[in-house]
């Protein structure tokens, strides 16, 4: 196995990967287009759930607009079809979840009332969030399992000294 043969194989791999990625993108665009253009056909459901190898072509969250458009279009004429019902139920569930996320984000806007959290300190004294009214207050939720949080906690520790 020579160095030259290794370079040729590497170039061949790069070309193959490039062609595969191109085909994947074209397939993705074709499935999106087909689903939108045929949103009144049950065949669009088959397209929505198609795969490129072992990977779904469309992602339910990223391509939610297409799933929703097909579900809305098919729901009125095919309400007895189990596949249509399943798609409509999935879209409805995700829509409700997205709406709740929007409501939660809106509730966290500046000026909105925050929940009155009560926490114990290291000496078992209760501290309420309402005790900090009028003071600059940081509410930071973190996870001990997330190493990024450790770094942020070290930075916050320095702020407490100020």
The tens digit of pLDDT for each residue in 98-134 reads 999 888 888 777 777 777 788 888 899 998 988 888 8
Q: Is the pLDDT of residue 5 over 70?
A: yes
**In angstroms, rounded to a whole number, what is the distance separating the alpha carbons of residues 40 and 43?**
9
pLDDT at position 1: 59
- pTM of the entire structure? 0.62
**In angstroms, rounded to a whole number, what is the distance separating the alpha carbons of residues 65 and 36?**
10
State the pLDDT confidence band at 87, using cuts at 50, 70 and 90. Answer: very high
pLDDT at position 115: 75
Mean pLDDT of 78-95: 92
Q: Is 71 exposed, middle or buried (0-12, 13-18, 19+ CB in 10 A)?
A: buried
pLDDT at position 159: 81
State the chain's mean pLDDT as an integer. 89
pLDDT at position 95: 95
**In angstroms, rounded to a whole number, what is the distance separating the alpha carbons of residues 113 and 1?**
69
């Amino acid at each position: 196995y020579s160095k030259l043969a290794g370079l040729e194989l590497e170039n061949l791999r790069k070309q193959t990967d490039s062609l595969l990625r191109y085909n994947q993108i074209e397939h993705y665009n074709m499935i999106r287009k087909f689903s939108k253009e045929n949103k009144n056909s049950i065949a669009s459901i088959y397209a929505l759930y198609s795969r490129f190898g072992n990977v779904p072509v469309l992602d339910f969250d990223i391509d939610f607009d297409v799933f929703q458009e097909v579900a809305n279009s098919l729901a009125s004429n095919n309400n007895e079809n189990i596949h249509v019902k399943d798609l409509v139920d999935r879209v409805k569930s995700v829509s409700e979840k997205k709406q709740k996320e929007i409501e939660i984000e809106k509730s966290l806007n500046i000026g909105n009332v925050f929940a009155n959290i009560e926490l114990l300190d290291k000496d078992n004294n209760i501290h309420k969030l309402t005790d900090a009214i009028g003071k600059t207050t940081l509410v930071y939720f973190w996870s001990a399992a997330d190493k990024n949080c450790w770094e942020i906690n070290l930075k916050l520790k320095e702020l407490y000294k100020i």
